[in-house]
Amino acid sequence: MERLLLAIESSCDDTSAAVLRGNRVLSNVVATQKLHEAYGGVVPELASRAHQSNIVPTVHTALEQAGVTLDDLEGVAFTQGPGLMGSLLVGTSFAKSLAQARALPVVGINHMEAHILAHFIADTPDQIMPNFPFLCLTVSGGHTQIVRVNSPTRFDVLGETTDDAAGEAFDKIAKIIGLPYPGGPLVDRNAKNGNPKAFAFPKSNVDGYGYSFSGLKTAVLYFLQKQVKANPNFIAENMEDLCASVQHTIVETLMDKLVLAAEELGITDVALAGGVSANSGLRQTLRDVGEAKGWRTFIPPFQYCTDNAAMIGMAGQFRLDAGQVAPLNAAPKARWTLESGRG
Ligand code: KG4
Ligand code: ZN
């Protein structure tokens, strides 16, 4: 029988717990912290307090939905970083204490590694998975990276953003347009009925496989300041076209470097991961480009795109299979790069 694992995710503003049997998800419960909406962004101190009140009930629900008890568990995985220190501390303390009390192996997981490994969750027996090495465009609220995934535990980051992450760009531009936090999904929804070519915004031009999104944010800000001066209703009147044009620019920028990397490295298994992989424009564009280029493309189901504990569990199974466990003094890491190498 494959290992029954409890996984905990608490790196940012969602408290999540999942139970996995091998690579199958038996439950995946996410408690979203709505309270940050009022502040236009995540307030770290409030996030850690909310994790503290959510964590026990969330784990309880995850066990119940999976139809198992603490006695059945054979391991615990938790997000050790990167993320907000106060938030990570809650999950780390909870997971280590539970593991200590129950004499279970416990493993600390890199959140970005887990986003990538979500592709190996097998909710259906005929699930098609990428072959190693594959390329993964990892796009979240804090990261934008092109990663060569060498094995389930070894990664080469080929390029990343020098300033804002793609999700951050969506959220900051959404805020300029007047949409509430987190704005990414709302830009996506509005973009569906808009013209992506209505407004031409500049695409950044960074060397190699790097990205930059702060210039786009500034360009949108100046453009709107000018337009609103001439017509105070400009944003409301052009909401859908604005969202479609911004989304189009971000998606094109992301895809340009991904295509370059795939062609230069000769890799044809290409995947998306992270919260922004929920974006319908990006999903469709990857499918279209993949079809034209003869790639096999991999896009996680929605529930495994944004933050969730199921992906932490998947990464945990790989790390425990490799014999890795967290030392008793394991502490969270606010910054933590992916483990490189070819092993
Ligand atoms: O991976 P994630 O849930 O959390 C982090 O690890 O950061 O990513 C959150 C980011 C936010 O910036 C959010 O606006 C963005 O993902 N996001 C989207 C969409 N859904 C989530 N951005 C664009 N379109 C979406 N549909
Ligand atoms: Zn994430």
Flag whether pLDDT at 294 surpasses 90. yes
Question: Cα–Cα distance between 178 and 110 in angstroms, integer?
Answer: 33
Q: Which tokens hold the place of 80? A: 């050790």
Of the pLDDT bands very low, low, confident and very high (cuts 50, 70, 90), residue 279 is very high
* Nearest Cα residue to atom 8 of ligand 1: 275
pTM of this prediction? Answer: 0.97
Q: Which ligand is nearest to the CA of 144?
A: 1
Mean pLDDT of the chain, nearest integer: 97
What average pLDDT score do residues 267-284 get?
98
Distance of CA 238 to the CA centre of its chain: 29
pLDDT of residue 125: 87
pLDDT at 72 over 80: yes
**Ligand 1 centre from 274 Cα, in Å?**
7
pLDDT at 205: 86
- Per-residue pLDDT band for 88 (boundaries 50, 70, 90) equals very high
SS3 percent helix, strand, coil of the chain, rounded to 5, is 50, 20, 35
pLDDT of 343 higher than 80: no
Nearest ligand to the C-alpha of residue 272? 1
Give per-residue pLDDT as tens, 245-264.
Answer: 999 999 999 999 999 999 99
pLDDT > 90: percent of the chain: 97
Probe target for ligand 1 pocket from 170, 172, 188, 213, with the most ligand atoms within 8 Å of CB: 170
Please state, in angstroms and rounded to a whole number, the distance separating the CA atoms of residues 245 and 195: 7
The number of the ligand nearest the C-alpha atom of 305 reads 1
22, exposed or middle or buried, with CB in 10 Å at 0-12, 13-18, 19+? middle
Q: What are 142-182's pLDDT values in tens digits?
A: 999 999 999 999 999 999 999 999 999 999 999 999 999 99
pLDDT score recorded for residue 130: 98
| Residue 1, pLDDT score | 72
Structure confidence by residue, pLDDT tens digits, 110-133:
999 999 999 999 988 899 999 999
Closest approach atom of ligand 1 to CA 280:
26
Which residue's alpha carbon is nearest to atom 10 within ligand 1? 141
Cα angle for residues 15, 27, 127 (degrees, 5° grid): 115
Does residue 12 line the site of ligand 1, with CB under 6 A? yes
Q: Which atom of ligand 1 is nearest to the CA of 274?
A: 1
Q: Tens digit of pLDDT for each residue in 22-52?
A: 999 999 999 999 999 889 899 999 999 999 9
Cα gap 29→131, rounded to integer Å: 29
Please work out whether the CB of residue 171 comes within 6 Å of at least one atom of ligand 1.
Answer: yes
The answer, yes or no, to whether any atom of ligand 1 lies below 6 A from the CB of 281, is no
Token representation of residue 335: 């910054």
CA of 185 to the centre of ligand 2 (A): 14
Ligand lying closest to the C-alpha of residue 41: 1
Ligand 2 centre distance from Cα of residue 236 (Å):
31
- Cβ of residue 182 lying under 6 Å from some atom of ligand 1: yes
Any ligand 1 atom below 6 A from CB of 279: yes
Find the 278 Cα to ligand 1 centroid distance in Å: 7
CA separation, residue 167 to residues 1, 145, 196, 206, 217 (Å): 39, 12, 18, 18, 12
pLDDT for the residue 214? 96
